[in-house]
């Protein structure tokens, strides 16, 4: 079943469902949003499973989703909404270690992320932006997000380079690693006890298998791969 939030117009308030297992937190969120004329809290839920039921019943524009809850976590509930292609957007609202759960919630399908300690300053902006179809990550969490994405990109590059080097034979990988040190054919031949013409043959095979044209490109792939492959 696909949940459908009611279409939002600029003339009507953004409707919100507050999901947290702590009733004091739910009350605090209501107080934070009470003065926001453009935001209306439709209801509350105490866990992820109840949140799914309330989304289906109330069709809010935005869910403020705690991460750690009994019965069903915020990560699981957010992923379930995403799998239903729900029009209701999720903003993670958590007191947990930001670094540990930031990517988990965004990858599950959350459109926003606000630590509870910054709810007073960030929450209204987060709701407004997410309701317009944008994303929002609290400025206090953006350095961590950038670091995570940079690390993820480096990991992806390394995995792709290792996959490419896995196409080579052990001897070809040895030649490729020597190329990466700047060694020329004669030095490589002496190092692995073959003739320079054999080294040239290996290099031709390496370039073909890796789909590259130069020694420099071979070196880049080897450097990206790191120590992930034997040989």
pLDDT for position 126? 94
Which segments of the chain belong to CATH 3.40.50.2300?
A: 14-144
For 106-159, write each residue's pLDDT tens digit: 889 999 999 888 888 899 999 999 999 999 988 877 666 667 666 777 777 888
pLDDT of 117: 87
Give the per-residue pLDDT at 3. Answer: 47
pLDDT value for 203: 94
CA–CA separation, 161 and 157 (whole Å): 6
Structure confidence at residue 124 (pLDDT): 93
Residues 6-21: what's their mean pLDDT?
Answer: 79
Q: Are strands 14-19 and 136-137 parallel, antiparallel or unpaired?
A: unpaired
| pLDDT classification of 227: cutoffs 50, 70, 90 | low
Output the pLDDT for position 6: 47
154-225, what's its fold? Answer: Arc Repressor Mutant, subunit A (1.10.10)
pLDDT (mean) for 34-59:
94
- Give the model confidence (pLDDT) of 66-113 as tens digits: 999 988 999 999 999 999 988 999 999 988 656 668 888 888 999 999
Q: Where in the chain is the domain with CATH 1.10.10.10?
A: 154-225
Architecture field, domain 14-144: 3-Layer(aba) Sandwich (3.40)
**Among 215, 196, 211, 197, residue whose Cα is nearest residue 165:** 211
């Amino acid at each position: 079943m696909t949940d459908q939030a009611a279409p939002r117009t600029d003339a009507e308030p953004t409707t919100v469902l507050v999901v947290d297992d702590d009733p004091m937190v739910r009350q605090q969120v209501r107080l934070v949003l009470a003065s926001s004329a453009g935001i209306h809290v439709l209801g509350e839920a105490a866990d992820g499973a109840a949140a799914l039921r309330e989304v289906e019943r109330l069709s809010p524009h935005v869910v403020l989703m705690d991460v750690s809850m009994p019965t069903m976590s915020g990560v699981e509930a957010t992923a379930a909404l995403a799998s239903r292609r729900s029009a209701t957007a999720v903003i993670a609202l958590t007191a947990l270690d930001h670094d540990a759960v930031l990517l988990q919630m965004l990858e599950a399908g959350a459109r926003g992320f606000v630590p509870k300690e910054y709810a007073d300053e960030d929450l209204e902006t987060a709701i407004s932006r997410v309701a317009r179809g944008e994303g929002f990550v609290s400025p206090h969490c953006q350095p961590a997000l950038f670091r995570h994405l940079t690390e993820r990109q480096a990991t992806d590059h390394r995995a792709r380079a290792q996959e490419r080097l896995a196409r080579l034979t052990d001897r070809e990988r040895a030649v490729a690693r020597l190329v990466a040190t700047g060694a020329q054919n004669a030095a490589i031949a002496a190092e692995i006890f073959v003739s320079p013409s054999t080294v040239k043959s290996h290099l031709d095979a390496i370039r073909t298998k890796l789909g590259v044209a130069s020694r420099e490109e071979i070196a880049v792939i080897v450097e990206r791969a790191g120590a992930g492959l034997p040989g």
